[in-house]
Amino acid sequence: MHKLQESGEMYLETILILSQQMSYVRSIDVVEYMGFSKPSVSRAVNLLKKESYIEIDRDGHITLTESGREIAERIYDSHKLLTKLLISLGVDPKTAQEDACKMEHDISDETFHAIKRHLNGQGITIE
């Protein structure tokens, strides 16, 4: 497996979020959630499957593999943490969500843990 691109991380994060909201995730659910075209999602899903980040059963249900789940959880945790940080700084929640989405893919583990420690010291936790 090679380093996953930001778009691949976004797909894994979306699959994780959807799997927490519904009993199974299909490509069409990803299309509707992300607002991307069916061909774009199909291409991305096939790449993620080829790289062993997801599995797709014969009914088209998508599940994250262990490596896919690790990446998705790391990205989603970064998203939640950055959103909380920005809101605590006075940023509007909608803007904070959007900006966190842009930042979550580039933040280092060191910075993530430093922000987490800082917020915890302020009594702010992520879930």
For 1-127, strand residue ranges (E) read 54-56, 62-64
CATH number of 74-121: 1.10.60
Tell me phi and psi for residue 35, to 5 degrees.
75, 25
* pTM of the entire predicted model: 0.86
pLDDT above 70 for 2: no
The reply to whether domains 6-70 and 74-121 share a CATH topology is no
pLDDT above 70 for 3: no
Q: Which CATH architecture has domain 6-70?
A: Orthogonal Bundle (1.10)
Burial class (CB in 10 A: 0-12, 13-18, 19+), 84: buried
